[in-house]
């Protein structure tokens, strides 16, 4: 067919779709194809990381996507693309948050191990284990509570609880020890707990009236 | 063992862990301690509750479009343009090197190199990005658009009308020295381009009625072959929607034929 192509597809991995004749290397997916597959999840994570500000989320996503595009040729394991994209998004966000915090001169929010154990011991159990949290109607409430979390806690709970990465994966993504991920996750869940409990409590009160 | 230590050692979601004596002791503790058992159950319930309640909005189409445009720009202009002065300097150096390399390759191509491989879909996607800047006919009249194209092409083009879509005009596309047609629409506020190009390529489905979906430059392209012509629909629409529109084209319209 008589059309011209902008660049040979095997010239750069981020554009690779075809193989050189005789090559045994599996086809490399175009960067845009990989990004498109995970775009919704990346966007919603960026949106929550930015406290629901869509313009900030788009800026964050743009910066992370361009960084990923630049580095796509160095992605050695294509099956790890999702984790790799979230790593770039998370680190880009934390770099931005650190930069802002340096200006605001705030302090670290991480717990030392003894303080973490003390916080675990202080846990007040949920009212009734058999009573399911009424989570289906909690979207807005949980969203507000997520937006109020400090950035470090928010990033961990989004990556572990919402996107389903393991604590070990998230530790690698954010370049922090696994214990720090555990501590942040506990504190995030503790802060989010009222948002998940309130409707169930309200429903019980309503039934008793 | 204290409850805090036992909970720390048995913290859920941390993945498999070696069963050290301390962890075994923590498990024994949790087996006998109702509060610790409930703590572990609460953590699991909270994790599940957050996962189920968290809203999962899709990326808005305009965000998606702007993102893929910026990547297309980075691909075209050199990916380093957006990430700082050092990268820009490196980019300038690379650009100079590429210019020299390009000149050398151009000279080689003109002498003894074989013709480069061609990818019609990549060309279509790039053209779609440029569509709004091209001159052509602005019209919502399908008869006028078909006539305008017929006067300028070596093959006839039927102009389909899509359910929920609005015809906005047409233009010509020059590919490989031959003219093709691009009919433009707006569907749900998004631009949709319908391409009819002479020739077919490997990347286009060759079985009659078969539609192939591919991605180029962030856009989905549904393409099919019809005789000596390639047809393609390009838009920032989901793949299944594009395929549906493609079948609408195939089934409802008289095929465009070479004259």
Beta bridge partners of B223: B212, B232
**Band (B68; pLDDT cuts 50, 70, 90):** confident
pLDDT at B15 over 70: no
| Residue B32 clears pLDDT 70, i.e. is over it | yes
Distance from CA of A43 to the nearest CA of B (A): 6
Residues A69, B75: C-beta atoms closer than 8 Å: yes
Q: What top-level class would CATH report for the domain A13-17+24-104?
A: mainly alpha
Q: Report pLDDT for A151.
A: 84
To the nearest whole Å, the CA of B225 is away from the closest chain A CA by 11
The answer to whether the CB atoms of B38 and A129 lie below 8 A apart is: yes
Domain ranges of chain A: 13-17+24-104, 113-208
Averaged confidence pLDDT in chain A? 74
Predicted pLDDT at A30: 78
For residue A5, give the nearest of B39, B58, B122 by CB distance.
B122
pLDDT at A206 over 50: no
According to CATH, the superfamily of the domain at B120-252 is: MucB/RseB, C-terminal domain (3.30.200.100)
**In angstroms, what separates the C-alpha of B249 from chain A's closest C-alpha?**
21
DSSP state of A164: -
How is residue A156 annotated by DSSP?
Answer: H
Task: Name the helix (H) or strand (E) containing A41.
Answer: helix A31-49
Which tokens sit at B98? 């590429």
pLDDT score of A66: 92
Q: Name which of B3, B6, B7, B8 to mutate to probe chain A: the one with the most chain A Cβ atoms within 10 A of its Cβ.
A: B8
Q: Establish, for the pair of chains A and B, how many residue pairs have beta carbons separated by less than 8 Å.
A: 220
Tell me, what's the pLDDT at A195? 80
Name the helix (H) or strand (E) containing B126. helix B120-130
Q: Which has the closest alpha carbon to A34: A59, A60, A70, A69? A: A69
A141 pLDDT exceeds 50?
yes
Amino acid B55: pLDDT = 81
The pLDDT assigned to B39 comes to: 87
CB pair distance less than 8 Å for A117 and B80: no
Cα–chain-centroid distance for residue B154?
31
pLDDT beyond 60 at A48: yes
Residues B196 and B179: their CA atoms lie apart, in Å, by 9
Q: CB-CB: which of B46, B48, B57 is closest to A193?
A: B46
Residues in B closer than 8 angstroms to A30, CB to CB, are 215-216
CB within 8 Å: A136 and B52: yes
CATH topology of domain A113-208: Arc Repressor Mutant, subunit A (1.10.10)
Rounded to 10 deg, the angle between the A54-71 and A31-49 helix axes is 140
pLDDT for residue B217: 64
Please list the residues that pair with B183 across neighbouring strands. B170, B194
Which of B51, B60, B215 lies nearest to residue A32, judging by beta carbons? B215
What does the block give as tokens for B257?
A: 């034929």
DSSP letters, A117-131, are HHHHHTPPPPS-TTS
Between B86 and B163, residue with greater pLDDT: B163
CA neighbor of B212 nearest in space, from B121, B124, B129: B121
Q: Is the pLDDT of residue A105 over 60?
A: no
Chain B residues with beta carbon closer than 8 angstroms to that of A182: 8, 11, 14
pLDDT at B156 over 50: yes
pLDDT digits (tens, 9 = 90+) for B108-118: 444 444 444 44
Backbone phi and psi for residue B143, each to the nearest 5 degrees, phi listed first: -70, -45
Min Cα separation B210/chain A (Å): 18
pLDDT computed for residue A62 by the predictor: 92
Interfacial B residues in 126-145 facing A (CB < 8 Å)? 126
| Predicted confidence (pLDDT) per residue in A6-29, tens digit | 333 333 444 443 334 444 444 467
B14: which DSSP letter? S
Residue ranges of the domains in chain B?
3-53, 61-111, 120-252
């Amino acid at each position: 067919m008589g059309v011209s192509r902008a660049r040979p597809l095997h010239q750069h991995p981020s554009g690779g779709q075809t193989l050189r004749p005789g090559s045994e290397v599996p086809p490399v997916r175009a960067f845009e194809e990989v990004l498109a597959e995970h775009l919704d999840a990346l966007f919603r994570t960026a949106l929550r990381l930015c406290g629901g500000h869509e313009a900030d989320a788009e800026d964050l996503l743009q910066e992370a996507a361009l960084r990923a595009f630049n580095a796509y040729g160095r992605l050695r394991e294509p099956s790890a693309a999702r984790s790799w994209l979230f790593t770039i998004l998370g680190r880009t966000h934390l770099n931005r948050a650190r930069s802002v915090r340096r200006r605001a001169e705030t302090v670290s929010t991480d717990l030392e191990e003894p303080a973490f154990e003390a916080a675990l011991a202080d846990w007040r159990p949920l009212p009734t284990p058999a009573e399911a949290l009424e989570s289906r109607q909690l979207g807005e409430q949980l969203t507000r509570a997520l937006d109020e979390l400090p950035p470090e806690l928010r990033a961990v709970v989004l990556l572990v609880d919402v996107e389903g990465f393991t604590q070990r994966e998230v530790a690698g993504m954010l370049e922090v020890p696994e214990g720090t991920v555990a501590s942040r996750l506990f504190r995030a869940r503790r802060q989010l707990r009222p948002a998940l409990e309130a409707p169930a409590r309200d429903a019980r009160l309503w039934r008793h009236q | 063992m204290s409850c805090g230590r036992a909970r720390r050692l048995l913290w859920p979601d941390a993945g498999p862990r070696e069963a050290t004596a301390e962890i075994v002791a923590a498990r024994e503790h949790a087996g006998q301690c109702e509060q610790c058992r409930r703590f572990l159950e609460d953590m699991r319930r909270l994790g599940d509750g957050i996962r189920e309640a968290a809203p999962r909005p899709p990326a808005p189409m305009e965000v998606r479009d702007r993102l893929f445009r910026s990547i297309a720009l980075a691909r075209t202009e050199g990916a380093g343009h957006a990430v700082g002065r050092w990268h820009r300097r490196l980019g300038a150096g690379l650009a100079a090197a590429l210019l020299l390399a390009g000149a050398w390759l151009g000279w080689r191509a003109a002498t003894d190199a074989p013709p480069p491989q061609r990818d019609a879909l990549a060309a279509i996607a790039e053209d779609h990005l440029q569509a709004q800047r091209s001159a052509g006919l602005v019209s919502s009249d399908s008869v006028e658009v078909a006539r305008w194209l017929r006067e300028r092409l070596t093959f006839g083009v039927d102009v389909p009308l899509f359910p929920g879509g609005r015809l906005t005009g047409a233009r010509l596309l020059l590919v490989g020295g031959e003219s093709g047609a691009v009919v433009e629409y707006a569907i749900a506020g998004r631009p949709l381009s319908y391409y009819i190009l002479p020739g077919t390529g490997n990347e286009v489905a060759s079985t009659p009625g078969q539609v192939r979906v591919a991605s180029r430059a962030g856009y989905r392209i549904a393409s099919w072959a019809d005789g000596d012509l390639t047809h393609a629909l390009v838009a920032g629409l989901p793949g299944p929607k594009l395929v549906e529109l493609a079948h609408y084209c195939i089934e409802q319209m008289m095929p465009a034929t070479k004259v």
